[in-house]
Amino acid sequence: MKYETITKCGELGIEFNNIDERITMDFLKRLLRDIIERSTKYFDETGDHVFIYRERQMYSVICPSIAGVTSGYLMEHPLKRKPAGEEEYSGSVDY
């Protein structure tokens, strides 16, 4: 596992098992680095951890981080779900 020091945040270690796509690895590294930096800044300013709450509070650091990496994303993408042997119903995929 390779570690990277993120200034004033600590070290980030990511282990990519079975991911050969350089674009995917680059996207995830950039995304995680930015989420960590934004979460640390939030803590420094408020004394509170953004990740101790529910999913919606994480949008505050995840969405700006995704927008910094790519301009094309939706928070929730609508889709139809059809589990085996069940009726189809509406749902969504986050990010």
C-alpha distances in Å from residue 2, one per residue of 9, 32, 54, 74:
16, 14, 30, 31
**Which of 19 and 67 is assigned the larger pLDDT?**
67
Question: Domain limits at 57?
Answer: 2-94
**How many separate domains does the chain show?**
1
Q: Could you report the per-residue pLDDT of 6-34, keeping only the tens digit for each?
A: 777 787 776 666 666 677 778 888 898 99
Give residue 11's identity as a one-letter amino acid code: E
pTM, two decimals, is 0.65
Contact 50, 58 (CB under 8 A): yes
Contact 81, 90 (CB under 8 A): yes
pLDDT of residue 38: 92
Q: Average pLDDT, stretch 64-80? A: 85
How buried is 30 (Cβ within 10 angstroms: 0-12 exposed, 13-18 middle, 19+ buried)?
Answer: middle
